[in-house]
């Protein structure tokens, strides 16, 4: 399982990603489902994930940056590719050259893209981003409603209306209904445009959140789109680390930098070949855990750059060269995120490049 050249092995199940994509589409009654594959497919590796999703039937992809989109284009020559972060000044020709679609969120972007379309003699497709609550990217609802009658939209090739949910993972939050109502007004003003509203958690907000195109990211990679309820997605990521040493300490001895942990009696400690430089967050010090032979063992002391200390007293006799499960089974990415005081998204996107990566296709079921 562990290759001796590396301390830890990351296993990514491409079959589970494809199954999750199908599951999300099915949840919305077979609606068209895109895939958000920004940040190197949430840390899972665009080069392997994008072709796997294409093979599963996905035809529309969203990334954050032009550079990510160029990489995606090389992998997916025929896909529809949207660039969420919009049009940075002067990048229009590069987008057009690669057949990429910017998600336009301001009048300046819209005019720059429309000018490029005019110069090329054809409207080049793009999406219109309306901000219904994030105050981050996109036209205000009022500005978009004014824009609805403007020929600029057609000149700029706008072929998709979208907005982004503020708190989709909190179904009880009123902001969801407010955003849905604003989006309904926008759709009424722009009836010819297909529309995209739902991220992963949005898919689980019910039919009124579905519109024409789903836009999930996190759930594809095994994250729970319904926090507090059972995770409907299949796990995608598994991380195993090698045990480098096992030692026994007596009561009163400390472990790790700055002696942040003290043994309350005789304990067995295992040192794992994995640390914060691999993307396992230091903020999980004293709160993280790993599974050794199926037994949950707490991480003790401060997490180091390349090493983590585990209290394996309760695990059946682990030895040097054995492995500990860091992400997988009951230690899913949401759980690891909570232990680190963050969210599973940050765990995924932080998965470092020091691991050996194995891609498997699972059962595909």
Among the listed residues 38, 42, 276, 280, the single catalytic one is 38
| 319 is annotated as an active-site residue | no
Nearer to ligand PLP, 216 or 301 (CB): 216
Contacting ligand PLP within 22-51 (CB under 6 A): 36, 38
d(CA 303, CA 310): 10
State which of residues 164, 210, 234, 268 lies at the interface with ligand PLP (CB under 6 A).
164
Phi, psi angle pair for 191, to nearest 5°: -65, -20
Question: Which of the stretches 7-15, 216-224, 302-310, 316-324 binds ligand PLP when contact is defined by CB under 6 A?
Answer: 216-224
Helix and strand totals (H; E) in the chain: 12, 20
Quote the least distance from Cβ 327 to ligand PLP, whole Å.
Answer: 18
User: Tokens 């972060």 label which residue?
Assistant: 85
Nearer to ligand PLP, 18 or 36 (CB): 36
Nearer to ligand PLP, 23 or 267 (CB): 23
Secondary element (H or E) of residue 120: helix 107-120
Contacting ligand PLP within 313-332 (CB under 6 A): none
Question: How many other CB atoms are there within 10 angstroms of residue 62's CB atom?
Answer: 27
Residues 105, 72: contact at Cβ < 8 Å?
no
305 annotated binding-site participant: yes
State which of residues 123, 217, 222, 318 lies at the interface with ligand PLP (CB under 6 A).
217
Q: How many positions of this chain bind ligand PLP (CB under 6 A)? A: 11
Closest CA to 269 of 245, 252, 296: 245
3-state secondary structure of 278: helix
Question: Which of the stretches 215-223, 283-291, 299-307, 308-316 binds ligand PLP when contact is defined by CB under 6 A?
Answer: 215-223
State which of residues 43, 216, 275, 337 lies at the interface with ligand PLP (CB under 6 A).
216
- The DSSP line for 183-249 is HHHHHHHSTTS-EE---HHHHTT-GGGT-SEE---GGGGT--SSTTS---SPP-EEEEEEEEEEEEE
d(CA 315, CA 299): 13
User: How many C-alpha atoms does 163 have within 13 Å on its Cβ side?
Assistant: 28
Question: Which of the stretches 145-153, 183-191, 213-221, 281-289 binds ligand PLP when contact is defined by CB under 6 A?
Answer: 213-221
Structure-token pair, residue 209: 């959140």
State which of residues 139, 204, 218, 355 lies at the interface with ligand PLP (CB under 6 A).
218
Nearer to ligand PLP, 167 or 254 (CB): 167
User: How many C-alpha atoms does 179 have within 13 Å on its Cβ side?
Assistant: 26
178 annotated binding-site participant: no
Residue 17, interface with ligand PLP (CB under 6 A)? no
Structure-token pair, residue 93: 């020709």
Question: Which of the stretches 23-31, 139-147, 187-195, 209-217 binds ligand PLP when contact is defined by CB under 6 A?
Answer: 209-217
| 38 is annotated as an active-site residue | yes
Contacting ligand PLP within 70-129 (CB under 6 A): 84
Q: Which residues lie near ligand PLP (CB under 6 A)?
A: 36, 38, 84, 164, 199-200, 215-219
Residues forming the active site: 38, 257
Q: Report the binding-site residues.
A: 136, 305
């Amino acid at each position: 399982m562990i290759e001796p050249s590396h301390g830890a092995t990351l296993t990514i199940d491409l079959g589970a990603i494809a199954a999750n994509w199908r599951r999300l589409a099915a949840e919305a009654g077979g609606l068209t489902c895109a895939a958000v594959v920004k940040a190197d497919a949430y840390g899972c590796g665009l080069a392997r994930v994008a072709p796997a999703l294409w093979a599963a039937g996905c035809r529309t992809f969203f990334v954050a940056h032009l550079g990510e989109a160029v990489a995606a284009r090389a992998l997916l020559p025929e896909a529809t590719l949207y660039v969420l972060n919009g049009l940075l000044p002067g990048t229009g020709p590069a987008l057009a050259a690669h057949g990429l679609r910017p998600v336009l969120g301001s009048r300046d972007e819209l005019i720059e893209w429309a000018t490029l379309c005019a110069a090329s003699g054809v409207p080049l497709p793009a999406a219109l981003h309306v901000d219904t609550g994030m105050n981050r990217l996109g036209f205000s609802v009022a500005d978009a409603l004014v824009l609805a009658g403007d020929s600029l939209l057609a000149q700029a090739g706008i072929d998709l209306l979208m907005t982004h949910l503020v708190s989709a993972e909190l179904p009880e939050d009123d902001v969801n209904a407010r955003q849905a109502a604003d989006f309904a007004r926008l759709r009424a003003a722009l009836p010819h445009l297909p529309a995209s509203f739902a991220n992963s958690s949005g898919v689980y907000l019910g039919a009124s959140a579905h519109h024409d195109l789903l836009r999930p990211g996190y759930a594809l990679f095994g994250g729970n789109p319904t926090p507090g309820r059972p995770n409907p997605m299949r796990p995608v990521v598994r991380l195993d680390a090698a045990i480098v040493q096992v030692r026994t300490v007596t009561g009163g001895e400390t472990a790790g930098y700055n002696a942040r942990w003290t043994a309350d009696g005789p304990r067995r400690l295992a040192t794992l070949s994995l640390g914060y430089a691999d993307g396992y967050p230091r903020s999980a010090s004293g709160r993280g855990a790993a599974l050794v032979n199926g037994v949950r063992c707490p991480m003790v002391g401060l997490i180091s750059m390349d090493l983590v200390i585990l209290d394996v007293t309760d695990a059946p006799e682990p030895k040097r060269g054995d492995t500990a499960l860091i992400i997988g089974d009951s230690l899913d990415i949401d759980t690891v995120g909570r232990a680190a005081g963050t969210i599973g998204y940050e765990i995924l996107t932080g998965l470092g490049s020091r691991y050996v990566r194995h891609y498997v296709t699972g059962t595909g079921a």
